[in-house]
Amino acid sequence: MSTYGAGPLPSRREFLRQSAGLLSAAALVRAVEIGSRAAESNTLRIALIGCGGRGSGAVAQALSTAGPTELWAVADFFPERARALVEQLRPRFGDRIRVTPERVFGGLRGYRGAMDSLEPGNVVILATPPAFRPIHFEYAVQRGLHVFLEKSFAVDAPGIRRVLRAGEEAARKGLKVATGLMSRHYLPLEEAMARVHEGALGELVTLYAYRMHGPVGLGPRPANMSELAWQIANYSGFTWLNGSFFVDWLIHNIDVCCWAKRSWPVSVQGMGGRQVRREPDQLYDHYMAEYTFADGTRMVVQGRHMSRCWDFFGVVLHGTSGCAVLGEGQPNPMLFRGHQPTADRVLWRYRGEPCDPYQREMDLFFEAIRQDRPYNEVERSAKSNLTAIMGRMACESGQRITWEEAMASTRELAPGLDQLRDEDDPPVKADPQGRYPIAMPGSTEVL
C-alpha cells in the first residue's frame, strides 16, 4: 500500500501531536546598543500584532521559550479579539501577561501603538493578513525591534521588494528576524533533507507539492460590520489580503521543494479557476503550476479545496534512484528505494525525539536574541514567497512567467495600502450583483 494519498488529511493539532556580511561601523554601534539594552533586563517584552489563530499560537510559543518573557502589548483590527486573547492567555501564563487596557490597540494603525510601547531590543510578532506584512515589518525595523514574521510575507512583487529591503536594514542594525516557515526547523524533516542533499535519492528529477483538502470557509457579513472589516475577517477569500490560496496556503511546501532543490525556479506556467465554489469572494478552488529550474528539472504544485475529492497534503520527491514523502502535512517523513513509496521499500525514517516545529522555530529565534547571534531568515523566505507569487501570476493569467519578470513586476494588488483608513472602502469591491472580480486566464494582466 502506498504511504501517501491514503487516509484522512491530518489536522494541525494531529500534526503537532505526532511531531510532539559584515556590518558598517555605524550599524555595528547600533547593534551593540540594541544588544546592551536587551541585556540590561533579562526579560524580553513582546508585542503581538494580529490576534487570530496563528498569532495566538505564536505568542504562546514565544512565552514558552527559555528565559523570562512577558506579553506587553497587543493589536488587532478588531480590538475585542485582542482583549479576548489576553484573557485567554492569563490562566496559562499568569503575571507574564502584562497587557493593560491602554496597551490594547485596534484598527489599521494599532500596530504603531503596540510597537511604540516597546523599547528597542524587544520583540514583535507580526501575524496579520499578509498584505500588511511589509508595512508592519518596515516599522518594526525602524523601531529597532527583533521581528517574528508569520508567513506569508507579502502578496505581490512590490511587497516582496519592501520585505527584502527591510530585511537588509534589520541585518545592518543587528536585529534578529525569524519567519514562519516552520518546516525548516522540524527535526525529522531536517534530517530527511540532509540525506536528500547527501544523495540518498540520487539526483532530484521531479518535485511535487500538494495541498488538497476540503473547502475554505467564508463567514457571513453581520449587518453592523463594514465591508473592509468583513473582508479582513475573511482574508483567505480575498486575493489583495492573502495573495491567494496558492500563495498563502501552499507556501510551506513550495518552500520545502526549493529547500530540497537548493535553488529557486527560473520560470512557471499553470492553470486554475473556480469550478464548484459558489461563495461570493475571489478564491479559485483549484490550481496547478509547473515550474522549471535552471537545470531543466521540474516542480509541479497542486492546490485544491473541494469536498468529496482525493485529499493529500505534503511533498513527493523523485530522484534517479529513489523517492521521498515529506513536507508540511507529513509528520513522519520517509525516504524510499525506487519510485514506489511502499512499506517494503523504506530506506530511511526518523528515529529521534518528537519535535514541535512551531515551538522550535521560536526557541531558536529567542536563543539568537539572548545570545546576540546573527539570525535573519528574510532572504530565503522572501524568495520562496516570490516563487509562490509567480505561480499565482501564471495560473491567473495563463502566461509563462519568468523569475526576472515576477521580481520586476510593479503591479500591486492593493495600491495605496499604506494610506488605507478604518472607515475606507476596501481596495476590492463587489459589483451591483454582489460579484467580486475574479482573475480570468487569457485576459487578466499580472505584470
Task: Provide the β-strand partners of residue 289.
Answer: 270, 301
The pLDDT-based confidence of 33 (bands split at 50, 70, 90) is: very low
pLDDT grade for 224, boundaries at 50, 70 and 90: very high
Beta bridge partners of 305: 213
Is 247's pLDDT higher than 70? yes
Q: 204-213 and 312-319: which strand pairing?
A: antiparallel
Q: pLDDT category, 41, cuts 50, 70, 90?
A: low
**pLDDT recorded at residue 39:** 41
Q: Which amino acid is at 275?
A: Q
Strands 298-305 and 204-213: parallel
| pLDDT over 90 at 78, yes or no | yes
Cβ-in-10-Å burial (0-12, 13-18, 19+) of 169 comes to middle
Strands of the sheet with 44-49, listed across from one edge: 104-106, 69-76, 44-49, 123-126, 146-149, 177-179
Coil, helix or strand for 407? helix
Helix (H, G, I), strand (E, B) or coil at 75: strand
Residue type at 154 in one-letter notation: A
**Pick from 137, 213, 205: which is nearest to 385 by CA?**
137
What is the grid cell recorded at 294? Answer: 535552471
- CA separation for the pair 258, 256 (Å, rounded): 5
Confidence of residue 16 (pLDDT cuts 50, 70, 90): very low
- Single-letter amino acid, residue 46: I
Q: H or E stretch including 126?
A: strand 123-126
The residues, any chain, with a CB within 8 Å of residue 434's CB and separated by 6 or more, are 280
- Residue 219's pLDDT is what? 93
Q: What is the dihedral of CA 264, 268, 274, 277, to 10 degrees?
A: -10
Mean pLDDT (the chain, rounded): 92
| Burial environment of residue 122 by CB neighbours within 10 A (0 to 12, 13 to 18, 19 or more) | buried
Tell whether the model's pLDDT for residue 394 goes beyond 50: yes
Question: Does residue 30 register a pLDDT over 80?
Answer: no
Calpha distance 264→258 (Å, rounded) = 6
Beta bridge partner(s), residue 337:
322
Phi, psi of 95 (to 5 degrees): -75, 0
Angle, vertex CA 285, rays to CA 317 and CA 134, nearest 5: 80
Distance CA 404, CA 392 (A): 15
Measure the CA–CA gap between 254 and 32, rounded to whole angstroms: 37
Q: What is the structure's pLDDT at 181?
A: 98
* pLDDT tens for each residue of 80-118: 999 999 999 999 999 999 999 999 999 999 999 999 999
Cβ(328)–Cβ(183) under 8 Å? yes
4 band by pLDDT with thresholds 50, 70 and 90: low
Find, among 24, 47, 57, the residue nearest to 146 by Cα.
47
For the segment 256-309, what is each residue's pLDDT rounded down to a tens digit?
999 999 999 999 999 999 999 999 999 999 999 999 999 999 999 999 999 999
DSSP symbol at 345: G
| Residue 174 · residue 35 · CB < 8 Å | yes
Q: Is pLDDT at 13 greater than 60 in this prediction?
A: no
Contact between 128 and 160 under an 8 Å Cβ cutoff? The reply is: no
Nearest to 62 by CA among 366, 376, 446, 422: 366
CA 63 to chain centre: 20
What are the two backbone dihedrals, phi and then psi, of residue 114, each rounded to the nearest 5 degrees? -65, -45
Closest among 379, 390, 411, 377 to 158, alpha carbons compared: 411
- Cell representation of residue 54: 496563528
Q: Report the pLDDT averaged over residues 117-137.
A: 98
Radius of gyration over every alpha carbon of the chain, rounded to an integer in angstroms: 22
Query: Do the Cβ atoms of 148 and 124 come closer than 8 Å?
Result: yes
